[in-house]
A and B are shown apart, each in its own frame.
Chain A
Amino acid sequence: MESIFVNSKNVFLDTANPKDYIRLDRASVIYQSLKDSIEKPLKMILLYGKPGTGKSMFLTKLSLDSADKKNVFLYDTPILDESEFYKRLAQDVFKTKYEGGLNFTQFMRIVKDKNLNQVPVVLLDEAQLYSEELMEKIRLLSDTRALKFVIALHKTEKEDLIAKEHFQTRIWETIELENSLRAELKMYIQKKLMKANCFDTASMFNSKIVNKIYKLTHGNYRDTNKLLYGLFEIYITYEKNNQLYSIKIDQISTKFIEMAAIHTGLIDA
């Protein structure tokens, strides 16, 4: 029989799998507003927030949820080469294979020629990695209203500048994602574990333990996942070494949380 800690550890693998999406009240409201924004005649939608606040998960889920209704295309890895970017869009969105280099003018011609009934939605993750020149081209493409872009980027000073320069004069909507609150974090952890049938470990997270985790991660989902992954790894190691007898099982050990935080770099020791 596999240890409960092994299953629990796997729950917190840092992936953007929409199946692992946890419905939290606040996040659900934001997600719904993002879905509504796509229906609106907007050229661009800006989704921004600190790393680990769930931007990628939102885009992935949006892509999955809209797969049967709309032409939604997700690019979770930035295509940094401009020609390659146009070629991928031409191929995925407009079903046009193009041999050799493709420049902006050529791509614009393809867009006008195809003139699709339903405006395709292009989801660009990690948009802060795109060059300013390419971002300007994306802005021009959105102006044609032949393509709709949802751009997810990190909230930094630099990205704010990009937002100002490229998107300020466009009709666009901004949606900000934030870290979870304490109560949300407890629900997030417990729901995530219970979704994977790890009821025993879910009950080990009381408010005191969640507060401790919140202090370390500030409610950041990615940091929380990392920390809890490390935590259950420690539990597994102790279990293997038959050292768990000295540890309380009815609740998560704060010592283990601190050790996991040291291991993941959340505590500088």
Chain B
Amino acid sequence: MLNIQELEKRWLKYKIKTYFPYAVIFISLTVIITIISIFATSNVEKTPVMATKPKKHEKKKIVAIQSPQKEQNISTQKKSTTTQIQTVTSIEDTKLTLSPSINFMKHTKNIEQQPYYKVTSSVKKSTKKREKIVQQASIEEEYMDLGEENQIKKKTIKKESALKPYKKQTITIERRDSQNDIKKIIARFKKSNNPALSLFVAKKYYELGNYEQAYNYALITNAINNDIEDSWLVFTKSLVKLNKKNMAIRTLMEYIKYSHSGSARILLDDIQSGKFK
């Protein structure tokens, strides 16, 4: 006759022994999962802060891309061919406005055909319901040709590329009529009171033959900053064109006394000799 009670005790002991490793694994896994979940929840609390950072970064990225675009467009203008511009990815609609840099004067001086850029970027969200959302961003570029009269070109560069499989952007660069541009720049000058803008307007009016306005804006520029040589030159050239040659000569002479400018001296000689009329 078997001692069943004893055998059952031994069996229970054996079962506990058998399940012990599984119990240890289960408990340790539970502990690990608990620890991980605690860490995960603590990270979730931080995520909103983390989430805002990439947005800022995204904006910066867009701004950073503008300057290469600028350079690219210069070469585009020279070659008169369309150029592909880097695509900017943006989830939300963004409008970017580039203000003229302080180096603007140098550019206008060295490169006669240096365009002035107004770059706006906007992302158009597709209103159609599609599985793939395609966004288009357009950048319009406007420029004024300073070297050649009425040589205004309109150029549209479009590029659609898919950085992400479901998002596309189009960058459009357009050159518009200079009359409208002058108005816009005047408006901006009124806001910013930037002498570079007023000088640009003066030069543009001079090129268009509006010498009175050129005189006015050269004078305004000079009032803001009398160290800008070009404002003196445009001012005196405008005086000559307005048949105020003597006044122009007197002004230049005073400026030469003050600045000893070579360019001013050459212009004075040209006016006096009659080369410049």
Contacts and interface: CB of A to CB of B under 8 A. Distances in A.
A259 B8 contact: yes
Nearest to A255: B11
Nearest to A240: B1
Interface of B: 1-2, 4, 7-8, 10-11, 13-15, 17
Interface in A216-263: 233-234, 237-238, 241, 255, 258-259, 262-263
- Which residue among A241, A255, A259, A269 has the maximum number of chain B CB atoms within 10 Å of its CB? A269
A267 B8 CA distance: 13
Nearest to A258: B11
Interface residues of A, number: 12
A262 B14 contact: yes
Contacts of A269: 10-11, 13-14, 17
Nearest to B2: A237
B11 A234 contact: no
Interface of A: 233-234, 237-238, 241, 255, 258-259, 262-263, 267, 269
Given A259-B7, A259-B8, A262-B7, A237 B1 contact: yes
25 contacts: A233-B2, A234-B2, A234-B4, A234-B7, A237-B1, A237-B2, A237-B4, A238-B4, A241-B4, A255-B11, A258-B11, A258-B14, A258-B15, A259-B7, A259-B8, A259-B11, A262-B10, A262-B11, A263-B2, A263-B7, A267-B14, A269-B10, A269-B11, A269-B13, A269-B17
A23 B17 CA distance: 39
Contacts of A258: 11, 14-15
Contacts of A241: 4
A238 B5 CA distance: 11
Contacts of A267: 14
B27 to A, nearest CB: 23
A120 B180 CA distance: 129
Nearest to A260: B7
B4 to A, nearest CB: 5
Nearest to A233: B2
- Which residue among A238, A259, A267 has the maximum number of chain B CB atoms within 10 Å of its CB? A259
B20 to A, nearest CB: 13
